[in-house]
């Protein structure tokens, strides 16, 4: 092979390599464009899911607000002495509208607090589930104690037990 033939061969190889480089650059550009499109689609989907989550939260919060408003309306009705047709539970005396309103207010507060704990319970990676459960139990006990302080139940007498048909004395 002459020097000229060798130069021609190397020139052809160089040109082929340059062509391959151009092809690889085009493939890289196509890959980068595809990656950017995928990223854009992912960001759009994330935005859509975020909107859906926020709408669901708003809806849930409005439902909670509606329930609390229902409690408030009921408390107002009870405070006015309306719908006082209840039968006292054994050991409990008839209660004033104020006492009933106070207990119902406590029940609404308790429910509000329990719902906050429900939100915490839904995030076990953020809040220790064991302590959330303990908080719920203690919260229920605290409101039960507060309501018993208002209602002041008494122990049953033998006569009350006999009247109920549960002879246990």
Q: Each residue of 118-160: pLDDT tens digit?
A: 999 999 999 999 999 999 999 999 999 999 999 988 888 888 8
pTM: 0.46
Element (H, E) at 63: helix 3-79
> How far is residue 141's CA from residue 148's CA, in Å, rounded to a whole number?
10
- Considering the domain architecture, whether residues 55 and 7 belong to the same structural domain is answered as yes
- Considering the domain architecture, whether residues 8 and 45 belong to the same structural domain is answered as yes
Residue 115 lies inside a defined structural domain of this protein: yes
The answer on pLDDT for 169 being more than 50 is: no
**In this structure, what is the dihedral angle of CA atoms 148, 152, 157, 163, given to the nearest 10 degrees?**
-80
- Considering the domain architecture, whether residues 88 and 149 belong to the same structural domain is answered as yes
Residue 79 lies inside a defined structural domain of this protein: no
Give residue 17's domain range. 1-59
Q: What is residue 144's predicted lDDT score, i.e. its pLDDT?
A: 95
> How far is residue 128's CA from residue 38's CA, in Å, rounded to a whole number?
37
Residue 65 lies inside a defined structural domain of this protein: no
- Considering the domain architecture, whether residues 102 and 139 belong to the same structural domain is answered as yes
């Amino acid at each position: 092979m002459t020097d000229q033939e060798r130069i021609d061969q190397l020139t052809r190889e160089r040109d082929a390599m340059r062509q391959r480089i151009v092809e690889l650059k085009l493939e890289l550009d196509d890959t980068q464009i595809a990656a950017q499109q995928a990223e854009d689609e992912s960001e759009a989907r994330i935005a859509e899911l975020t909107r859906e989550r926020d709408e669901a939260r708003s809806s849930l919060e409005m439902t909670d607000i509606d329930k609390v408003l229902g409690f408030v309306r009921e408390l107002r009705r009870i405070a006015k002495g309306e719908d006082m047709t209840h039968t006292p539970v054994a050991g409990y005396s008839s209660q004033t509208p104020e006492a009933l309103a106070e207990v119902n207010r406590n029940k609404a507060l308790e429910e509000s607090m329990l719902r906050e704990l429900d939100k915490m319970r839904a995030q076990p990676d953020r809040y220790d589930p064991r302590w959330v459960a303990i908080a719920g139990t203690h919260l229920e006990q605290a409101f039960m104690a507060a309501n018993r302080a208002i209602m002041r139940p008494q122990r049953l007498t033998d006569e009350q037990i006999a009247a109920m048909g549960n002879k246990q004395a």
